[in-house]
Structures are given as C-alpha cells and as structure tokens.
Amino acid sequence: MGVVHFDAHADCAEHSYGHLASHATPIRRLIEDEHVPGRNFVQVGLRSVLMPDDELLAWMRGHGMRSHFMAEIDRIGFPAVLDKAISQALDGPEYLHLSIDIDVLDPAYAPGTGTPEPPGLTTRELLPALRRICHETPVVGIEVVEVAPHLDPGDTTAMNARKAIFECLTGLALRKKGVPGPSYLDPIAAGLDEPPEARDPRSGS
C-alpha cells in the first residue's frame, strides 16, 4: 500500500519531548516498522519552519521518501505536483491510503488546528484533489486528522474537514459506479450543458 499524505509538517521526528508516540512521530514509526515502504510514502504541502531540519530531511531522503514542499507547488503548480505524488505512491503498491492533516490548508481555511502554518493550500486546490484521488486510484483507507474544535472560530475548520470527507466519498462513489474520468465534473454543474430553455433560439441549437 502506498500513501499520499497531505500535511504542512513531515511528522517524522524521532521523538517529541522524549515520547516516541505523538503527532510529530507517526511517519517515522510507520516506516521504521516497515508497514509502508518509504519510497511509496509521498508527502504534499510541507512548509514548516521547524520540520524537517537538515538532519531529519537526510533521514527522510535516506529512506526513499518523496516530499513535495509548497515551494515546489509554487514553482510548477499544484496539478503537476499532484500527478507526481499519485504516480510515486503507486509505483509498485496495489492500493492507496489517503492521509489528510487539516493543517495542509492555509490557516485562513483551517485555523482550528494545533500547528497552523501559512501559506498553505486553498480549499479550491485540496478538495477537488481529494475527489480526484478517490475517483481515479484504488483508495482503501482515508483519514482526516488534527482538527481542534476548541481552536476553531466559526467552525471553519470543521466545515472544511467535513467537506474533505464528502469529496472523498464522492470520488469513491464515482469510481464504484464506473463514471469516467479524469477529474469528472457533472456537465451541468461545470456549465457544459445548458438547459434547452437557456439556448438562443436564433442559433438553431
């Protein structure tokens, strides 16, 4: 199984204040315990000023991890990075797990999280990407983590986390029904199919 992991942070620390199990360490445990090959654990959206530092980045590269920072997204665009991430995660594995740390979103869209990091993805970037991944790839697991309701003014973060789950479920449903892709959009919602009464009678169509 490969993993596409949306996150502002690498979450590969050796420990957090002496604790091996924390929200800063799960990826190291996952890879060191050989549950997922490092080369098929692909991160998207990294941008923390603290993690990874040079030592941690060397560990990540040494285990074959592929990491796509916001700087790369700014340089070549999010669609190109997403294509690379999907291809890398499925380079060998049969199935895909989708991990969404809500702080991959810019704090404007997800203030209710423990470690917000600007500048991040927008909802217009992330949400269609989640639908696309679940529609076009053999996803077998999905998680949304790091939502902190007590830090969430106006429930903005909770609403976007809820929408993220809906987009994933929509993608799974499209795949199950055999709806063709890529990046399927309903033609009416996409403005590609106007109702007959909206057509110009002078056009003859």
pTM, two decimal places: 0.88
- Look at residue 130 in the predicted model and tell me its pLDDT: 97
Parallel, antiparallel or unpaired: strands 66-69 and 96-101: unpaired
Q: What is the pLDDT of residues 17-60, one digit of tens each?
A: 665 565 666 787 788 877 888 899 999 999 987 767 888 889 88
Tokens of 200: 């110009």
> Do 123 and 107 meet the contact criterion of CB atoms below 8 Å apart?
no
What pLDDT is stored for residue 139 in this prediction?
98
Q: Does residue 12 carry a pLDDT above 80?
A: no
Q: For 80-98, write each residue's pLDDT tens digit.
A: 999 999 999 999 999 999 9
Which pLDDT score is estimated for 42?
96
The confidence band for 186, taking pLDDT boundaries of 50, 70 and 90, is confident
Identify the CATH number of the domain in which residue 145 sits. 3.40.800.10
Does a cis peptide bond (omega within 30 degrees of 0) precede residue 119?
yes
- Tell me: pLDDT of 15 over 60: no
For 140-150, write each residue's pLDDT tens digit: 999 999 999 99
Which is higher by pLDDT, 197 or 187? 187
Q: Per mean pLDDT, which range of 80-84, 152-156, 180-184 is the poorest?
A: 180-184
The predicted pLDDT at position 205 comes to 53
Query: What is the share, in percent, of the chain residues with pLDDT greater than 70?
Result: 87
Number of domains the chain is built from: 1
Long-range contact set of residues 153-160: C-beta below 8 Å, sequence gap at least 24: 153/111, 153/112, 155/112, 156/109, 156/110, 156/111, 156/112, 157/102, 157/109, 157/110, 157/111, 157/112, 157/113, 158/112, 160/102, 160/105, 160/109, 160/110, 160/123
- Comparison of pLDDT for 165 and 181, the residue scoring more: 165
- d(CA 92, CA 112) in angstroms, rounded, equals 36
Mean pLDDT of 184-189: 80
| 3-state SS record for the chain | CEEEEECCCCCCCCCECCECCCCCCHHHHHHHCCCCCHHHEEEEEECCCCCCCHHHHHHHHHCCCEEEEHHHHHHHCHHHHHHHHHHHHCCCCCCEEEEEEHHHECCCCCCCCCCCCCCCECHHHHHHHHHHHHHHCCEEEEEEECCCHHHCHHHHHHHHHHHHHHHHHHHHHHHHHCCCCCCCCCCCCCCCCCCHHHCCHHHCC
Residue 15 lies in domain: 2-203
Residue 133 pLDDT class (50, 70, 90 cuts): very high
Q: Are 119 and 106 in contact (CB under 8 A)?
A: yes
Question: Is 96:175 a contact under the CB 8 Å cutoff?
Answer: no
203 pLDDT more than 60:
no
Q: For 180-205, what is the mean pLDDT?
A: 71
